[in-house]
Structure 1
């Protein structure tokens, strides 16, 4: 079955499914949905967690072995499989077998980029629909962003004037993760008072400054020297690269779509708007990158995203920022 992020908490109260698929290109909403499932699973006794990353190095036989071996243990476990490209590839047969008869002592969670239509027609997905829950996460439309921001503020007990909301909506431009961070900061400053335009002007950073999302634009635009400077600053400030990595992966997959023969006849601006890209600066960067980068560079960049993800989660001796500098050089090279 399918459900929305808003409906997920109520669904979890009714009991756990053996498998959950959370997919989408909004890192904040994907993360929050995953956290809800994790919390419910822990409360139900599924304390241990095993994580796999479906990159080119993953041995799906090892994944299959974990599912068959778990019945030998008394512990309830969670197995999480990250799908950065939204495709299972060699893992389809493994998932099909698991989903035919899901183990009772395992909760499986698939965390994926947005699935394409072809993947949803495959056998593994149909099995999942019958046995588990799919939580597709969609971007917040530009014309609904201010309302989303207002609701999010209200949920945190914040009261913003109309002018304060308008300033935040303009500066954050649909950047949900940055919006959440700014609301957290404002909640520390508000102390129960109404937040007006002056407070926002003083407290809210313009999201176009040094942050992970601006770094993605610099990387996609091929501005390696400036991107490298930003990487150094973000590393020194202790920024978590996983949020920007989700956005970077989404943009790289959009570029692959744009270079597909089926889409090359489309107007780039109209194509990007259909895919939820409304910010002019980002749309321009993607249009220019689609002309500058070739398919080899894009596939290498997506593989590098998996390396960054592994490094950020401690599975690589080098820091993720090392590979982000490699990404800057790769995307700046002329095809």
Structure 2
């Protein structure tokens, strides 16, 4: 049944596709000098990592992150679930365990019934319950567009923090979830996504990246991040820059969500995909034969996307088994890290 109110009609973008384009963000931040950094701050802004990490003592470090966006789907409960899953993912991407959340809520009060807003919050609460954490407070504002997300705090042992900058030459790259969320959401907004496609979209975006806290226990895992608004190509590029290495990505090994290939070929591409390429395409070498559609898949913004793991070759089977044991059957090796100038080479 079609929802009475289409949440996506209120927003100019949806999900992590709302992110400021990488090139524009770099311009905004280029003159930022930051602040004096205390020795306890283990992870800050230096490598565009997923969360900040502050050492509390020899046994505990605090992970702090926040994420919020406009609706990617029309169903308010599903929107809340997706936004909460996406926000909590950053704690898992640092190898941590979430402990509590605060809600960030901006809603057009004169346009959305309180019952709809309540369903958004309930959706977020359901995911937090699945993660085993409370929503302990938050902040609300009257906003022109619907906005929902979380501040999430987590804990990790200081020696188990997994950064996006620790990859080593020769590492294999493993992606935990299939890609194509932006393409499915674009089709949904234009009424071209069927029930099976919508189910795949919701299943992917509401699956908590719990393997992250288990991956932190594996010595062979050298770097970890999650794939969100900059697409698999953009987040792999951050990983390469952080490690001062190059990365090879095999297009033929990338797992795709159902229907994504066909929908992309029909033109259901988000505007964020093009903005992503404009922001970092100069650092990417595409092999002959990579089509415009394939490039769009590489830059497709993922909302609540999968974990991207850089690990020793000898740890590959252990990492894949961990993913599969946790319900991530599509996890796959997609490339490797190599020496060379920071960038990404995409193989056909």
Greater RCO structure (CA 8 Å; 6+ sep): 2
Name the one with the larger helix percent: 1
| TM-score, scaled to structure 1 | 0.24
Radius of gyration: which is bigger? 1
Name the one with the larger strand percent: 2
